[in-house]
């Protein structure tokens, strides 16, 4: 098979008048002469020029949108507008045809809803090529950031017998016959007969296991799939998604905030440095998409401007009580414009409140700390006031919460009390309690939903569009 050069490398090469081979998928074929070829390495296509008199008619008929081809020829300066160079083909090979009567991605504008229905093909489009190149570089940047800062990558179990969040919305894992499962004398399912000898589920978080790792390796992080059986059919929720969860020993809530802010700024700068063409394409797509919307529904900042906004200043750090006071006294709250009014201390902040703090009040990303204990997880360190915990959320424009973390509770008696409040039996998490018994130390960590991050950076309005094959209520295709 012919050796090839990526289209990205051809377009970046300042030289001309050399012979090379490129391979990819046809986007358009104009006038039986000009092929727009894309191989996924960049959003930009390379124009292939074919001579009608050089290639047989039956070959040219096979060159249709979606077909996989290879072309060998000379790279020359382009006489046409829109490209600096083009390849004048001396040889063309068709590797795979695409029947134009059935191929769904013909050269025209397709709605995101339609593309979602053919998720197995949408990666061939410019929009989704940009999204998944950005997704790759974001994942790489995350690993690089942690590696360069002395963290160890820890693989935590996907199948688990515990519920890290105490939420109970988990997918069950079982080999028992669902029609006739073995039962106890009380008529309940006898989980001791199951594969693992107990009831097990797909994990909702690797955090608790990461805490174990931090107690021996000092600084660890997880980056893996997590699952929530939450019946939320919205543009912000997935049933299967990826989470980044670092954990650091000998650290408090301030160290946790520093780490999270540093990571977010690093990965955003990384894609600005390495994916600017993809970001520019997505920015222009968003501008075109929003032209039909009323002015008050359009994004206040262009996509790249929004990313630079994150980098511009240190994140604002305030307590929940300070945030509550700002929101309670805000004009939208007083004029009853909030869907969820802020009246009583202890209310869980909604996306509209978080966005007001970021976009209207502070005009910068915000970190809120010291949340009411009753609205946060059992493992967060209980403050001396007995009412608040050392939890922290990072809020971004347009999105709201993007990171949630905390300093972890290390006092055994308080942990038992909090677990009882959440209805978590101590024997279920005996291994977790052991790390408080043997060489415990202050430690902290956070969770960052990877798809939420990709959604924010790409400007996509639906989280189902930033993962190759989404899983959500009623949908598990491909």
* Segment 132-173, tens digit of pLDDT: 999 999 999 999 999 999 999 999 999 998 766 655 589 999
Spatial separation of the C-alpha atoms in residues 388 and 119, rounded to whole Å: 44
Q: Where in the chain is the domain with CATH 2.40.50.140?
A: 7-108
Q: Look up the CATH superfamily of 124-169+204-465.
A: Bira Bifunctional Protein; Domain 2 (3.30.930.10)
Q: Which of 222, 258, 254, 263 is nearest to 407 (CA)?
A: 254
Task: Give pLDDT, residue 200.
Answer: 94
* Segment 14-73, tens digit of pLDDT: 999 999 999 999 999 999 999 999 999 999 999 999 998 899 999 999 999 999 999 999
Q: Beta strand pairing status for 172-173 and 200-202? A: antiparallel
Q: What is the pTM of this model?
A: 0.94
Helix axes of 303-312 and 253-274: crossing angle, nearest 10 degrees:
140
Tokens, residue 49: 């020029």
Topology, domain 7-108: OB fold (Dihydrolipoamide Acetyltransferase, E2P) (2.40.50)
Tokens, residue 461: 């309005």
Dihedral of the CA atoms 281, 284, 289, 292 (nearest 10)? Answer: -170
Task: Give pLDDT, residue 167.
Answer: 53
The stretches in the chain having pLDDT less than 70 are 1-2, 163-168
Task: Give pLDDT, residue 165.
Answer: 60
How many CB atoms neighbour CB 224 within 10 A? Answer: 18
Buried b (16+ CB within 10 A) or exposed e, 107-145: eeeeebeebeeebeebebbbbbbbbbbbbebbbebbeeb
Q: Where in the chain is the domain with CATH 3.30.930.10?
A: 124-169+204-465
Dihedral of the CA atoms 225, 278, 283, 224 (nearest 10)? Answer: 10
């Amino acid at each position: 098979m012919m050796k090839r050069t990526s289209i990205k490398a051809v377009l970046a090469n300042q030289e001309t008048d050399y012979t090379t081979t490129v391979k990819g998928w046809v986007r358009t074929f104009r006038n039986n002469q000009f092929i727009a070829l894309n191989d996924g390495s960049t959003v930009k296509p390379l124009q292939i020029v074919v001579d009608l008199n050089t290639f047989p008619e039956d070959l040219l008929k096979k060159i249709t949108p979606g077909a996989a081809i290879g072309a060998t020829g000379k790279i020359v300066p382009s006489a046409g507008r829109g490209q600096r160079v083009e390849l004048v083909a001396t040889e063309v090979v068709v590797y795979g045809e695409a029947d134009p009567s059935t191929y769904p991605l013909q050269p025209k504008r397709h709605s995101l809803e339609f593309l979602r229905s053919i998720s197995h093909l949408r990666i061939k489009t410019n929009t989704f090529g940009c999204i998944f190149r950005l997704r790759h570089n974001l994942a790489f940047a995350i690993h690089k950031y942690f590696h360069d800062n002395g963290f160890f990558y820890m693989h935590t179990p996907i199948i688990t017998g515990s519920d890290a969040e105490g939420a109970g919305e988990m997918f069950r894992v079982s080999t028992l016959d669902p029609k006739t499962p073995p039962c106890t004398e009380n008529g309940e399912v006898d989980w001791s007969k199951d594969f693992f000898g107990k009831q097990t589920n797909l994990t909702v978080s690797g955090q608790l296991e990461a805490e174990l790792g931090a107690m021996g390796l000092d600084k660890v992080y997880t980056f893996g799939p997590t699952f929530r059986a939450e019946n939320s059919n919205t543009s912000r929720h997935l049933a299967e998604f990826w989470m980044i969860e670092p954990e650091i020993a000998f650290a408090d809530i301030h160290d946790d905030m520093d780490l999270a802010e540093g990571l977010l700024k690093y990965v955003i700068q990384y894609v600005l440095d390495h994916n600017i063409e993809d970001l520019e394409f997505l920015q222009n797509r968003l501008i075109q998409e929003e032209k039909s919307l009323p002015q008050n529904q359009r994004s206040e900042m262009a996509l790249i401007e929004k990313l630079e906004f994150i980098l511009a200043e240190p994140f604002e750090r305030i307590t929940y009580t300070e945030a509550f006071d700002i929101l309670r006294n805000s004009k939208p709250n007083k004029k009853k414009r909030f869907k969820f009014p802020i009246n009583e201390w202890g209310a869980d902040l909604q996306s509209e409140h978080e966005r007001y703090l970021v976009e209207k009040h502070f005009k910068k990303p915000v970190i809120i700390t010291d949340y009411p204990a009753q609205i946060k997880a059992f493992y967060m360190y209980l403050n001396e006031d007995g009412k608040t915990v050392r939890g922290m959320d990072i809020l971004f424009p347009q999105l709201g919460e993007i990171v949630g973390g905390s300093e972890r509770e290390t006092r055994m008696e308080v942990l038992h009390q909090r677990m009882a409040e959440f209805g978590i039996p101590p024997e279920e998490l005996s291994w977790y309690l052991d790390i408080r018994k043997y060489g415990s130390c202050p430690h902290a960590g956070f969770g960052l939903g990877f798809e939420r991050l990709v959604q924010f950076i790409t400007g996509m309005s639906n989280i189902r569009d930033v993962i190759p094959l989404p899983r959500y209520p009623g949908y598990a295709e491909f």
